[in-house]
Structure 1
Amino acid sequence: MARFPLPSLPSRLIDIEVADTGRRGAPTAVLVNSDGAEVGGLRHPGKTGEVREVSDGGVRWLVGVGAGAAKDWRAAGAALVRAVGADADKPVKAVQVELGPDVNGEQVGELAMGAWLGGYRYKVSAEGERGSLRTLRLLTPHERAVPAYDEMLRRVRELAEAATLARDLANTPSNIKNPEWLADTALRVTEGLAGVRATAYDEKWLAEQGFGGVLAVGGGSASPPRLIELTYRPRGATKHLLLVGKGITFDTGGLSIKPAAGMHLMRTDMAGGGAVIAALRAIAALRLDVRVTALVPAAENHVSGSSYRPGDVVRHYGGITTEVGNTDAEGRMVLADALVYGIRRFRPDAVVDVATLTGAMKVALGTRIGGLFASEDELAKRVLAAGERAGEAWWRMPLLAEHVEAVHGELADVRQAPGGPGGITAALFLREFVDDVPWAHMDIAGPARAESAYADVVPGATGFAARTLVELAASYA
C-alpha cells in the first residue's frame, strides 16, 4: 500500500449555492457577454473565458461569457475558478457571482459544471490536498428561481462527480492502481447505492469461465486480472443498457513494447473503464428508470516470461478464436471477452463499449473529439445527442465493408491486428463479438487525456465519456 497521502477519491467538489441576496464584503465576479462592459474604469470585451481583475467596491473579477452558448458558460465557470486560485499567497475561500436578470437555469447549470470541473486538481503530495476556494455563491435577482436552480444544480453535480471520479481513477498512479485496486475501488464507490449490486471476479473464475483474452493480456503481470461487474436494476425498468469499459491499469505494450517516451501516460489506459464505473454510479445516484449493467475487464499488460506473444491463438469467452498480431492491441482482446459475456448473460437492449483503443483515432480526430462507431443509426443518434447535452463532442466513423475481410483470420477465426485504418479495423474486430444486438463503440484515445488546460478540462485525465454515458442512459429512462 501507499506510504504517502493519496488525494481523496472521489475528489471533493467545491460547494455551489444559489441565493437572491449577496454577502457584504465578499469578493464578487460579474459576468460580461459579447456586448462588453466597463467596470471600475476597466473595459472587458466579453470574450469567452477571459477573466480580468478589477477594483471597484466589491467587484473583483469580470468574466466573459461570449455569445452565451452552453460551452461559453462552462468555459467561464472554469476560468473564474482558475483565476480565483491563481494567487496562492492570497487565498480566497468564497466568491459570489452576479448572474443578472436574463440568465436561465440551463446557463446556471453550465456555469456550475465549468466551475466544478475547471477547478479539478490531482496531485500526490506530502502536503496532502490543497485548494483555497470552497464556496461559489450564485446570486440571482429572481427570488422564485432559487429552488429551481437548486434542483438543477443537484443533477449537474452528479454529472460533474461522474467526470471527476473518472478523472480520479485514471490519474491514480499504477504502482497503486492494479486490477485488484480498481475492482475494490469500484465496489467501494458504489456501495450503498439503491438498486446496485457489485461483484469482482478473480483470475480463477476467469479461467473457469474461459475469458481467454483477459487472461492472455494479464498473464505477463504479477498483478492478476479481474472482471468488475456492476448492475443497477431499478424496480419497473423496461430498458436494459450494457456498458463495457476497457480497464487496462497499465500498458507497456507487452512484448510488442511501446516507446519509452509516452509510456508514463499509460496509467490512463483504463479511462474507458473509469468512465463506465463513474457513469453507473451517477445513473444510480440519479435513480434513472433504466436498467444498466457495467462490465470492466481489468488487466495489466506487462512484459515477462508468461506474456502472451505475437502469433498466439487465443480462445475468447464463447469460443471465438483470435490470432494475435501485436500484443499492444490488448484493449480489443479484453473487450471481446466482456462483450460476449455481457450480451449472452444479460440480454441487453443495446450495448456500448468505451476504450482508449487506437492511436489511429487520435490521429484522425485529434484530442478533443471522440470517435463513434455504431451498428445502427438510431443508437448512433442517441449517443451523439447525449454527447451534445453533456458537452462532449463525438464524430461518427464508418464501419467500412471494404475492410471486413481483413479482420477474418486464417490461423484463427479473426485477426487481432490486420493493418489498414487502425480505428476502423479495431471497431470491425469488436463487431465480431456483439451478435445482432444494437452496438456502439466509443474510441476515446484522443480526448481521454490532456496536456494543457482548455475550457473545463485540466491537464491529465479528462473523464471524457462519463457524462455522455449518463445522458445516454437518461434517454432510455
Structure 2
Amino acid sequence: MRAPLPTPLVAVEAATTLRRGAPAVLVAFPGDPVRLGPGGGDAPPGVTGRAGATTRHDGTWHVGAGDGAPADWRKAGASLVRALHGDAEQGGPTTFDVRLPADLDPGAVEAFALGASLGGYRYRITAAEEPKRVRTLRLITAHADAVDHAATLAAATSLSRDLANTPSNVKDPAWLASAAVRAARDVPGLDVEVRDERWLAAQGFGGVLAVGGGSARPPRLIQLTWSGGPGPHLVLVGKGITFDTGGISIKPAEGMHLMRTDMSGGAAVIAALTGIARRRLPLRVTGLVPAAENHVSGSAYRPGDVIRHHGGTTTEVTNTDAEGRLVLADALAYAVRTLAPDHLVDVATLTGAMKVTLGLRTGGLFATDDDLAARIAGAGAAVGERWWRMPLLEDAAEGVRSDIADVRQCPPGPGGITAALFLREFVGDVPWAHLDIAGPARADKAYDEVVPGATGFAARTLIGLAESWTGTAHGAGSGSGAGSDR
C-alpha cells in the first residue's frame, strides 16, 4: 500500500486584477446593515458577516469576516474552502477570485490565505475516485509576500499532518527517515543524515535502543541540517515514536489506533526544517528526530530496567509507556555534547497530564529561559497556535533522583511537570524549552483551519521561532491549534 504523500492543497495566489469570467467571492462584515467588501452592494438575505459563515446568492459566494481579527480571517478562509469543495463535488466551479478589502493589512491577508490553504485538507487512502475539488483561489490583494509566507506555513503544516496521519503498517522508523530525505530533496541546501541501529549502539543511545528493542523494525536517528548563515544555532528535537503500544506497560485497546500520530513532534521538526530552508533564513538550524516503535515482544524493555543514555547518564525505567522522554533524553544529550546549540527546543506528544491541564487546543510550554519562552509564545500567536507557559517546580525536582540510577523515568507529582523536569537533566546550561503537544497534535472534529486527525501543530511555531532571530517574521494572528508519553 502506498500512502498519498503529499496531500494536495488548494493553490492560493495573489493578484491585483480579476480574471475574466471567474466566479467571485465577496467578504461580508456584521452590522446593521451587513457590510460587503469590494464589489458588493446591499447584502442579500441570509448574509450575516459572522466569521466563517458562507452563503451563495445568484452565483456569488459570500464569506463572513466577523470582527476582522486574524483568527476570524483564518476561520473565514477555512470555512470558505470547505463550502467550495462541497459545491465542486456537486459540479460547481473549481477556481474563484476573492475580492479582499484594499486596506486589509498583511497579517489578515496571511491569516485568510493560511485558512484557505489548510481548511480543505483531507488525508485518505481509498480505492474510490477522488471527488472534484477546488483547485485555485486568487486573492485580490497587493500583499503577495503575505500570501507567499502563508503558502510556506501551510506546506509545512500539511507535511506534518501527512507524516503523522500515515498508518503505522506503512510508517516505521526507516519509512519516516526516507520521508524526511524525500522532503529535503525539494529544498536546496537542506541536508539529511540517517543513523541506523548500529550507529546508535556505537554512540550509546540506550534510550532509543531500549524503546525500539521490542520491535522487528529497528530505530533510527534522523538529523536535518540547515546552514543558512552565521546567526544563532537553533537545535530542534522531535519525538518520533512511529507507533506506541505502551510496551509491557501496555495501553488500553480503546484509542490505541491513534498512536500512529505519536511521532507528531518529530513530524513538526521535519516539516519546520523544510519551511525554514524554503525561507532561506540566515541562521543555523538542526533538527533531530529519534525514531522508534514501542512494541511488545520477548525483546521489549521492562519496568525496573536501568538504561544508559548517550553521555553516560543512567535512568531507572518504571513505566514502558513513558517512552518518549527516553528517546528525547538521548537526542538532547547528543545535541548538547556534539552540536553546540545556542538554543535547544524539544517538541513531543508527551503526557496525558497536559491534555487534562490545557485541553486539546493549547500546547504546554516549559522553559529555562524567559526570552526563549517569549519568542515561542509570540511565534505561536503570530501563526495561530496557542501556548501556555507551565512552571518547572523546583520542589518536585528532587523526585527525579533514583535510588539505583542517576534519574528515574517517572518521578512522582504532576505528570507534565515531572516529565519536563526529567528532560531538564539532559540539557546542561543551554537555554531550553520543552513543548508538550499531546492535546493539540490531534483533533476529532474540524475547527478553524484544523480538520480531524493530525493537526500539524507546532510546525508553524518552530518556523516563526527561527524567524524571530532573523527579522523576517510575518504574522497570521493569534488563535488555537492535537499520555503517559503518547
**Deviation of 1:128 (Å):** 5.8
Secondary structure of residue in 1 paired with 2:430: coil
> 1:121 matched to which residue of 2?
122
**In the superposition, relative to structure 1, how do residues 48 and 214 fare at CA in structure 2: closer, same or farther (>3 Å)?**
same
> 389, 400, 416: which one pairs with 2:393?
400
- 8 Å CA contact 2:249–2:321 kept in 1: the answer is yes
Question: How big is each residue's C-alpha offset from its partner over 1:52-84, in whole Å with a ceiling of 9 and x where there is no partner?
Answer: 2222xx52x221111111111000000000001
**In the superposition, relative to structure 1, how do residues 366 and 315 fare at CA in structure 2: closer, same or farther (>3 Å)?**
same
**Deviation of 1:40 (Å):** 6.4
**1:268 is the counterpart of 2:261:** yes
CA distance in 2, matches of 1:23, 1:208: 61
- 8 Å CA contact 1:37–1:45 kept in 2: the answer is no
**Superposition pairs for residues 442-461 of structure 1, below 5 Å?**
442-461=435-454
- 8 Å CA contact 2:164–2:454 kept in 1: the answer is yes
Question: How big is each residue's C-alpha offset from its partner over 1:203-258, in whole Å with a ceiling of 9 and x where there is no partner?
Answer: 01101111000000000001000000111112x42310000000000000000001
Sequence identity percentage: 60
CA distance in 2, matches of 1:73, 1:41: 21
The one-letter amino acid of 2:338's match is R
Structure 1 gap segments, 5+ residues each: none
> 414, 417, 421: which one pairs with 1:428?
421
> 1:414 matched to which residue of 2?
407
The one-letter amino acid of 2:106's match is G
**Deviation of 1:29 (Å):** 1.4
Secondary structure of residue in 2 paired with 1:110: helix
Secondary structure of residue in 2 paired with 1:476: coil
- 8 Å CA contact 1:40–1:54 kept in 2: the answer is no
The one-letter amino acid of 1:421's match is P
**1:257 is the counterpart of 2:257:** no
> 2:108 matched to which residue of 1?
107
Secondary structure of residue in 2 paired with 1:85: helix
> 2:382 matched to which residue of 1?
389
CA distance in 2, matches of 1:43, 1:261: 43
Secondary structure of residue in 2 paired with 1:363: helix
- 8 Å CA contact 2:400–2:418 kept in 1: the answer is yes
> 214, 221, 231: which one pairs with 1:227?
221
> 1:28 matched to which residue of 2?
24
Structure 2 gap segments, 5+ residues each: 37-41, 471-486
Question: How big is each residue's C-alpha offset from its partner over 1:427-460, in whole Å with a ceiling of 9 and x where there is no partner?
Answer: 0000000001000000000000000000000000
**Deviation of 1:97 (Å):** 1.1
Secondary structure of residue in 1 paired with 2:175: helix
Question: How big is each residue's C-alpha offset from its partner over 1:170-199, in whole Å with a ceiling of 9 and x where there is no partner?
Answer: 000000000000001101111253332210
CA distance in 1, matches of 2:158, 2:419: 28
Q: How many residues align?
A: 462
CA distance in 2, matches of 1:41, 1:115: 23
> 2:286 matched to which residue of 1?
293
- 8 Å CA contact 1:37–1:44 kept in 2: the answer is no
The one-letter amino acid of 1:66's match is G
**1:166 is the counterpart of 2:166:** no
**Deviation of 1:137 (Å):** 1.4
- 8 Å CA contact 2:46–2:55 kept in 1: the answer is no
- 8 Å CA contact 1:6–1:128 kept in 2: the answer is no
Secondary structure of residue in 1 paired with 2:180: helix
CA distance in 2, matches of 1:122, 1:160: 15
CA distance in 2, matches of 1:280, 1:462: 17
**Deviation of 1:343 (Å):** 1.3
> 51, 75, 86: which one pairs with 1:48?
51
Question: How big is each residue's C-alpha offset from its partner over 1:385-413, in whole Å with a ceiling of 9 and x where there is no partner?
Answer: 11111110000000001110111111111
**Deviation of 1:95 (Å):** 1.4
- 8 Å CA contact 1:314–1:323 kept in 2: the answer is yes
Secondary structure of residue in 1 paired with 2:65: strand
- 8 Å CA contact 1:373–1:398 kept in 2: the answer is yes
Question: How big is each residue's C-alpha offset from its partner over 1:312-369, in whole Å with a ceiling of 9 and x where there is no partner?
Answer: 1011000000001100000000000000001110101010000000000000000000
> 1:324 matched to which residue of 2?
317
> 1:71 matched to which residue of 2?
71
**1:6 is the counterpart of 2:3:** yes
- 8 Å CA contact 2:74–2:114 kept in 1: the answer is yes
The one-letter amino acid of 1:7's match is P
**1:150 is the counterpart of 2:144:** yes
Secondary structure of residue in 2 paired with 1:260: coil
RMSD between aligned alpha carbons?
Answer: 1.4
**1:465 is the counterpart of 2:458:** yes
CA distance in 2, matches of 1:272, 1:260: 23
The one-letter amino acid of 2:52's match is G
Secondary structure of residue in 2 paired with 1:86: helix
- 8 Å CA contact 1:324–1:415 kept in 2: the answer is yes
The one-letter amino acid of 2:4's match is P
CA distance in 2, matches of 1:284, 1:464: 19
CA distance in 1, matches of 2:13, 2:422: 48
- 8 Å CA contact 1:7–1:128 kept in 2: the answer is no
- 8 Å CA contact 2:354–2:364 kept in 1: the answer is yes
Secondary structure of residue in 1 paired with 2:191: strand
**In the superposition, relative to structure 1, how do residues 334 and 130 fare at CA in structure 2: closer, same or farther (>3 Å)?**
farther
Question: How big is each residue's C-alpha offset from its partner over 1:288-311, in whole Å with a ceiling of 9 and x where there is no partner?
Answer: 011001000000000000000011
> 1:362 matched to which residue of 2?
355
If the length of structure 1 is used for normalisation, what is the TM-score? 0.94
- 8 Å CA contact 1:227–1:296 kept in 2: the answer is yes
Secondary structure of residue in 1 paired with 2:255: helix
Q: Moved runs in structure 1, 4+ residues, more than 6 A?
A: none
> 2:200 matched to which residue of 1?
206
CA distance in 2, matches of 1:131, 1:299: 38
The one-letter amino acid of 2:10's match is I
**In the superposition, relative to structure 1, how do residues 192 and 160 fare at CA in structure 2: closer, same or farther (>3 Å)?**
closer
> 1:310 matched to which residue of 2?
303
